[in-house]
Structure formats: C-alpha cells, structure tokens
A and B are shown apart, each in its own frame.
Chain A
Amino acid sequence: MELVQMQKSLQDYTKSLFLDGVLDSQFLQLQQLQDESNPDFVSQVVTLFFQDSDRILNDLSLSLDQQVVDFKKVDPHVHQLKGSSSSIGAQRVKNACVVFRNFCEQQNVEGCHRCLQQVKKEYYLVKNRLETLFKLEQQIVASGGMIPAMELGF
C-alpha cells in the first residue's frame, strides 16, 4: 500500500475512534506529550494501561465470584480502572466503570456482574482498536513516512 494511502487510512481510523466515543480528548493530550525524545510515549502508556487493566479485570472476576461479595474490595478496583481509563482517554471504559461503581454502592451483585461484562466488552474493544492504530502507525514509520498531523473539525 502506498504511503499516502496508509496515512489516510490512519487518519480515517483515528477519526472513527473519536466519533464512536471510544476515545476522548484525553488521548489527544497524550499525543501532545509525544515527540522526538519520547517517540513511543503513547504506546508505552497504553501498554501499561493494558497490563494494569488485565490484572484488575482478573481480580474483579475473582471478587465477584465469591459466595459473599466484598464490595469494599470490588469498588477500589473499579475506581482504579476508572481512573486509568480516564487518563488515557478510553471514554467508554471509563463510563462503564461509573455505572459499575453505582451498582457497587447499592451492593447489587447482579448489577455488578452485568457491569463487569460491559466493562470487559468496552475494554477489549478499545484494546483491539488501539492495537490496530499502533500497527498502522508502525507500518507508516517502517515505510519511512511520518505520522500525519491531523485536523479534527468536531
């Protein structure tokens, strides 16, 4: 594929993530922190987010599977995931965590189970999309191109 085509694909793909609400402006904030001295900053932070989140989701699954659910354990995990997803701009994950916390507060086990499924769904979605985005970027860089500056008029 030609370089120009790849760059256009990346632009369109990124735009779609914002339009779908998968990412919010905080992701753009992270991109502002990336420069020649830190060329992989965004992917590094996002990778940490994935590692962190995998662990949290695992802990949450275990906690909710207990005979007696300890909400004092569940809520901090959700709070943590809400925070880190917010920090990288994973809007839908963050919003799902907000709903999750409400059910924790109500000590609603059934509600929490549903929320966990929703959080996982949103998480795997953003993970998938971002991994694709980083692959596209890598392809462009490998072809000697630059990641294009983009104007998002919305």
Chain B
Amino acid sequence: KENRCELCFSSLLPCFVSSPLSYYYSSMAKDGGVSCLRSSEMLNVGIGGMEPPPLDLDEVHVLAVDDSLVDRIVIERLLRITSCKVTAVDSGWRALEFLGLDNDKASDEFDKLKVDMIITDYCMPGMTGYELLKKIKESSSFRQVPVVIMSSENVLTRIDRCLEEGAEDFLLKPVKLADVKRLRSCLTGDVKLSNGNKRKLPEDSVSVDTSLPPPPLSLTFSTNSSDSSPPLSPVEVFSSPLSSPEDDDDVLTSSPEGSPMSEESPIRRQKMGSPGLD
C-alpha cells in the first residue's frame, strides 16, 4: 500500500503510521531520495533502517514552518530545488518541538541538530511567526540561526516589528524562486568551507548556483514586465507595538490587494546580512 508524505507528496519511501504526537517531515538524502519520516523516527534512531542519514556539514538545512499545506509543499520544493535539506512543520509548537525548545530540559540530541535557517509564515493559529521568532532569539542554541518571516500582507509595522526582533528578512507571499535563490546565496556565503574559513559574499551579488542544472521551463515569462503598475506604498497600521498580533491583520487598503506589488519596493524587505552572520 502506497503512502504519500503529506509534505512533499513523495512516495519513494513508505511513511510510518503516526502516533498523535508525531508529524511528518521530509528530508533529502545524499542520493537525492526523499525520506518522509515522523519526528519520532528522527529522534529514536534505528527503526527498520529508516534512520535519516547523518547531516552533512556542507549541506544547508532549513526548517520551514507554515500551517498551510499548499504553502508547505511549495516552500519545501522551492528550498529543495535550491539544494537545501528541508524539514517542514505545520506550527510554531512543532518547530519548537523539533528544535528541542519546547521544554526547559536540555537535551543532548539537540546538540547534534544543525539548522542553518528557519523560514516561517507570520499568520498562524496558536503561535504566530513573530512569537516563534522571539522564542528562537531567546534560546541560546538557536539565536544565531537566521529567521526569515513570510507574509501575504505587506504591513510596515509588522515588517519593522519582525526585523527589530531579529528577523533576517521578510518575504512577501507568494514566495518566488528568485526570493529563495537570494536567501540561499546569502547562506552559502556564510557556510564554513572545508578548510574552516568563513567567506561572506558581497551583499549585492546574487550568485547563480551553476552546480544546479537549469530546470526546464515549460513557459517563459517576464515577471518584471514593463506593464508595471505604480508601486503600492506599504500599508500603515495604526496600532501600538503592544497590540496583539491579531490587530495587525486589520489592513487598511486604498487599492485592491490584487495589484501586483512592485518587486523593487525597498520597504518590502531588507537584504540579509545582520551582524549575526558575519
């Protein structure tokens, strides 16, 4: 009987039946095969030989957090196509559980956990991406890990709040391949090379990953087309910084949200390159 991972839709390897506390994540092995394992299988090694391969120090491992299944599939594919290993979870709580931050007990297992970037949706039930960001920045083990926030709403105060709390970048949904490639190239610049030197790419250069075969495009389309509508100014929400995240979702718009956002809007996002990455 074929089982499909709900995250990556792969059926290359069977998925284990879950207990109520576990969840699916997908991880790419060295041979490119995708394993779809429950969290319990990751932490309790050696079940039927389905143990995930030891994390290669040169590989970039990203933890993606999004409550939307469609978005999880897309972000996971975007990350995998840019050569990242991906663990995708559906809530802030699951993310904390994965990182071992869900209780106060220090655990040895998490010393071996290598996470190079965390990318999370902002609007999630229960714990928002902002709350998750704060918890990660409060932790000693993961505060140096770059956290990227994704949101479908271009709200200036929201973006500022996240950046102030230490987010590396803020992406507007729907996330595009160019966005992920840009994040990826920033990460590559800071990954330790085998001789131990850390090399940082100049902020403005967007390196093309030539080791990847170009994906065959079935359609070519210029997304920065000349029919650009005037850039929408980011919407200001007049709420105090102490307001609950739900208040932030009252977006006052004067024009339909359906108009394309200008890719060049400087306020939409900041480039990666916080002191933490130097």
Q: Footprint of B on A, CB under 8 Å?
A: 14, 24-26, 28-38, 41, 44-45, 48-49, 52, 76, 79-80, 82-84, 86-89, 91, 94-95, 98, 105, 147-152, 154
Dominant SS at the A interface?
helix
Contact B71 A48 (CB under 8 A): no
Q: Is B174 an interface residue (CB 8 A)?
A: yes
Specify which chain B residues have a CB less than 8 angstroms from the CB of A48 in the assembled complex. Answer: 9, 69-70, 73
Contact B220 A152 (CB under 8 A): yes
Task: Give the complex CA separation of A84 and B152 in angstroms.
Answer: 10
Against A, the Cβ 8 Å flags (1 = close, 0 = not) of B136-154 are 0000000000000000100
The contact size tier of chain B is 20 to 34
Specify which chain A residues have a CB less than 8 angstroms from the CB of B219 in the assembled complex. Answer: 14, 28, 31, 149-152
Q: How far is the CB of B198 from chain A (nearest CB, A)?
A: 31
Task: Give the complex CA separation of A82 and B173 in angstroms.
Answer: 11
Task: Give the complex CA separation of A120 and B32 in angstroms.
Answer: 40
> What 6 A-B pairs have minimum CB-CB distances, sorted nearest first?
A95-B258, A84-B70, A150-B219, A28-B221, A98-B257, A35-B215
Against A, the Cβ 8 Å flags (1 = close, 0 = not) of B232-266 are 00000000000000000110000011101000000
Task: Give the complex CA separation of A31 and B81 in angstroms.
Answer: 12
By CB atoms of chain A within 10 A, which of B9, B250, B256 has the most?
Answer: B9
Q: Is B47 an interface residue (CB 8 A)?
A: no
Task: Give the complex CA separation of A147 and B68 in angstroms.
Answer: 29
Please list 29 pairs of residues, one from A and one from B, whose beta carbons are closer than 8 Å in the complex, sorted by A's number: A28-B219, A29-B174, A29-B176, A31-B217, A33-B77, A33-B78, A33-B177, A33-B215, A35-B216, A37-B32, A38-B77, A44-B9, A44-B73, A48-B69, A49-B70, A52-B68, A52-B69, A80-B68, A83-B70, A83-B71, A83-B173, A84-B71, A87-B74, A87-B173, A89-B174, A95-B258, A98-B258, A148-B218, A149-B219
Q: Is B125 an interface residue (CB 8 A)?
A: yes
Task: Give the complex CA separation of A88 and B202 in angstroms.
Answer: 33
Task: Give the complex CA separation of A35 and B78 in angstroms.
Answer: 12
Contact B217 A30 (CB under 8 A): no
Contact A31 B218 (CB under 8 A): yes
Contact A32 B68 (CB under 8 A): no
Against A, the Cβ 8 Å flags (1 = close, 0 = not) of B72-106 are 01100110010000000000000000000000000
Contact B70 A87 (CB under 8 A): yes
Task: Give the complex CA separation of A54 and B25 in angstroms.
Answer: 25
Q: How far is the CB of A20 from chain B (nearest CB, A)?
A: 14
Q: Knowing A87-B68, A87-B174, A149-B217, say if A105 contacts B250 (CB, 8 Å).
A: yes
Task: Give the complex CA separation of A38 and B218 in angstroms.
Answer: 13
- Given A79-B249, A148-B218, A154-B227, 14 other A-B residues pairs in contact with their CB atoms under 8 A: A26-B176, A34-B215, A35-B81, A36-B216, A48-B9, A83-B152, A86-B152, A87-B70, A88-B70, A95-B258, A98-B256, A105-B250, A149-B218, A152-B219
Task: Give the complex CA separation of A31 and B216 in angstroms.
Answer: 9
Task: Give the complex CA separation of A23 and B215 in angstroms.
Answer: 21
Against A, the Cβ 8 Å flags (1 = close, 0 = not) of B48-74 are 000000000000000000001111011
Q: How far is the CB of A120 from chain B (nearest CB, A)?
A: 18
Task: Give the complex CA separation of A147 and B218 in angstroms.
Answer: 7
Task: Give the complex CA separation of A44 and B215 in angstroms.
Answer: 18
Task: Give the complex CA separation of A91 and B78 in angstroms.
Answer: 20
Contact A149 B221 (CB under 8 A): no
By CB atoms of chain B within 10 A, which of A32, A33, A86, A150 has the most?
Answer: A32
Specify which chain A residues have a CB less than 8 angstroms from the CB of B74 in the assembled complex. Answer: 30, 33, 45, 87
